[in-house]
Amino acid sequence: MLKKIIGIILSLIVIFIVVAGAFFAFKGYQKSQNLKMIDQYLTENHLKDKVIEEKDEYDPRKGIFYKELTIKGDEKNTYIAQPIHMKRGFFLQGFNTE
């Protein structure tokens, strides 16, 4: 009886470790894909050389990675660049930081 309980507990611990590992692996993959898509957009639209400041951020409420950008010639505004559902689309929003 005791061996069964220990076996079940060890099995649950192993399952928990595997699930946690898969979750963090997915988040790492999601981050790389999202940031790659943002960089590709900036390069295609010739904005990469105009970026003054760039910060990678994570929104835990939405579960997405995005970048905060400040662009040369428009320093008073900050832009948020984020992909929508990793490959479906792209969202770029600007706002005044003052």
pLDDT in tens, the chain (98 residues): 889 999 999 999 999 999 999 999 999 998 888 888 888 888 988 888 888 889 999 888 888 889 999 988 888 889 998 888 756 777 888 888 76
According to the model, what pLDDT value does residue 62 have? Answer: 83
User: What is the side-by-side order of every strand in the sheet holding 51-59?
Assistant: 51-59, 64-71, 74-84, 89-96
According to the model, what pLDDT value does residue 7 have? Answer: 94
Rounded distance between C-alpha atoms, residue 95 and residue 34, angstroms: 21
According to the model, what pLDDT value does residue 87 have? Answer: 65
According to the model, what pLDDT value does residue 51 have? Answer: 87
